[in-house]
């Protein structure tokens, strides 16, 4: 197993290369201005919410999103993506990031 980190536009991307798969743990830091009436998000007791996704994207699948609630607002903080065994570069990371934002907007 090896880990490579990238910083793109003040966002951190950690790529974890394992024998049979590649995992990306990424910062999102996107404010959620409006979201559907999702009980997970509406529950004031939870400050950090882990949402299982398993949504397909072009290079793999979005496995999980992490939502953080503060006094000020609610944010999509992080995402975990499993990608096909491809070599990752900054361009691919940015494409995956944009796709994760789009898929997340449909669910939240």
Mean pLDDT of 78-97: 90
**Is the model's pLDDT at 74 over the cut of 90?**
no
54: region left, alpha or beta (phi > 0 left; psi from -120 to 50 alpha): left
Statement: residue 35 has pLDDT above 90: no
pTM listed for this prediction: 0.85
Of 97, 108, 27, nearest to 62 by C-alpha is 97
Percent of the chain with pLDDT over 70: 87
CB 31 within 8 A of CB 19: no
Q: Which pLDDT does position 86 carry in this prediction?
A: 77
Give the length of the chain: 108
Cα separation values, 38 from 16, 56, 62, 77, Å: 31, 21, 19, 17
Write down the domain spans for the chain. Answer: 2-107
Residue 37 has pLDDT above 90, yes or no: no
pLDDT at 55: 93
Q: Which two tokens stand for residue 73?
A: 């607002």
């Amino acid at each position: 197993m090896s880990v490579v980190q990238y910083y793109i536009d003040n966002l951190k991307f950690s790529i974890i290369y394992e024998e049979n798969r590649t995992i990306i743990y990424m910062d999102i830091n996107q404010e959620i201005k409006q979201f559907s009436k999702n009980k997970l998000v509406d529950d004031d007791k939870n400050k950090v919410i882990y949402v299982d996704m398993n949504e397909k994207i072009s290079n793999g699948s979005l496995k999980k999103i992490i939502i953080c609630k503060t006094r000020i607002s609610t944010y999509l903080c992080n995402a975990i993506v499993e990608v096909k065994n491809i070599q990752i570069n900054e361009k691919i990371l940015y494409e995956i990031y944009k796709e994760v934002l789009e898929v997340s907007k449909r669910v939240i």
